[in-house]
Structure 1
Amino acid sequence: MFTILVVEDDASLFRKLQERLSQWSYTVHGITNFERVYEEFKALQPDLVILDIQLPKYDGFHWCRMIRTHSTVPIIFLSSRDHPSDMIMSMQFGGDDFVQKPFHFDVLIAKVQATLRRIHDYSQEPATITRWAGANVEWERNTVSIENTTVELTKNEMFILKLLVQHKNKIVTRDELMNALWEDHRFVSDNTLTVNVNRLRKKLETLGLDHLIETKVGQGYIALEEER
């Protein structure tokens, strides 16, 4: 049974989310104090967070940054604002998915199920460390390190890197990546993948590896074993 933290100040919407998600045997918790979202998150340690952008006191981007300082828990953003920048910022701050309000509950539940299934299946894999371009990629810990420098990736970022490294020096198409990440990507903006890859590159830049993830225009992405 998975625990979901819903950070939503609309009491009516929260009750509907709690009711619908509970029907799928998820344990759903809300926020009691919107000035202490991070503290409540730490106390609960949920398996997934559904996070509204427009909140009292601080917005969802603020709380996402706070959570990402210590956790790679999957985060699905909600937004009632019809602006592409919300989705882009959600991904840049570490979100794993984005749902525009008003939404069909079945769409949100499908996204929740796909995210948790992917994370659960991923966590059941045996712990492995792969060498790639002089770095140690530790799948179970979501880290990439060279000597004494280590960067921590979100689940989506590590999943993308894993697919690319498993097919190193070969192109992995955008459709292949989106199908693997989100299963039914009819509900996923193509830009979501781009933002996730850019975020991955930004983190790899710390290790001097960002140039080894190349974009193949009109095709997809490729992880090079060595600089070409």
Structure 2
Amino acid sequence: MNYMIYIIEDDQSISRLLKEHIEKYGLSAKIVENFENIMEEFHLLQPHLVLLDVNLPKYDGFYWCRRIREISKVPILFVSARESGLDQVRALENGADDYITKPFSYEVVMAKINSHLRRAFGDYAHTIGERIIEWEGLKLYPERLDLEFQGKTAVLTKKEAILLESLISAYPKVVNRNYLLEQMWDHTDFVEENTLNVNVTRVRKKLQDLDIKDAIETIRGMGYRLNKSW
């Protein structure tokens, strides 16, 4: 399959180098042409993955991440010189799947791109039929990244779905943090510790939006487990 990567980056030298490395590995890449028509170009391209900077003309990357998430579940990877934990948390909370800081290794970027593509479309994506994972009235649809409970629905990212599926499958046991990291990322050497915490927080928030409170319990020194609290 010929995957298309959409590069939303205003530094032309970085954009060109990213495009060259992506195409060297047999993927297709398209650099944004007009920062005022990002959504129009996204619709035309129908990319399989987006590389997105934070500092962009007119609107920042957080804005465009939210806009893309309104219509698509493709993996979104931030690539930014802004290294603060707050920026990384904001990116994840706005729907991003990963955050890479500049200066970066192009090999690391390619490893992350390939990892997310495998998760979303390749070897690790489930393509036969549709699974429904149920727990205490909660229904998780991992293939379409939907969550349902008592008539209400929420949309998950791929990693949020993997996280919740792992917790449901293990219930009522505690799930180790390292196990969750391995399930959600192929290359855990490149994953910051706080990234898992952010994803857990996001899943908790989406469960709360479905009127399910305190469902994910933190077990200090071990990991997380589901807790029926309704």
Q: What TM-score do you get using the length of structure 1 for normalisation?
A: 0.95
* Counterpart-to-counterpart distance in 1, 2:106 and 2:89: 22
Gaps of 5+ in 2: none
1:77-96 CA-to-partner distances (Å, cap 9, x unmatched) read 01112322111111111110
Q: Does the CA-based 8 Å contact 2:133-2:165 persist in structure 1?
A: no
The aligned counterpart of 2:180 is 177
The aligned counterpart of 1:227 is 229
1:62 Cα offset (Å): 0.6
* Counterpart-to-counterpart distance in 1, 2:25 and 2:99: 20
* Counterpart-to-counterpart distance in 2, 1:123 and 1:62: 30
The aligned counterpart of 1:214 is 217
SS in 2 for 1:78: strand
SS in 2 for 1:76: strand
- Which moved further from structure 2: 138-147 or 191-200? 138-147
1:227 corresponds to which letter in structure 2?
Answer: S
The aligned counterpart of 2:199 is 196
Aligned positions of 1:35-74 closer than 5 A: 35-74=36-75
The aligned counterpart of 2:35 is 34
Count of aligned pairs: 227
The aligned counterpart of 2:11 is 10
The aligned counterpart of 1:167 is 170
1:213 Cα offset (Å): 1.4
1:5 Cα offset (Å): 0.5
Q: What TM-score do you get using the length of structure 2 for normalisation?
A: 0.94
* Counterpart-to-counterpart distance in 2, 1:94 and 1:127: 23
1:86 corresponds to which letter in structure 2?
Answer: D
For the aligned residue pairs, the C-alpha RMSD in angstroms reads 1.4
1:206 Cα offset (Å): 1.5
The aligned counterpart of 1:108 is 109
Match among 146, 149, 152 for residue 149 of structure 1 = 152
1:150-194 CA-to-partner distances (Å, cap 9, x unmatched) read 111111111111111111111111111111111221211100110
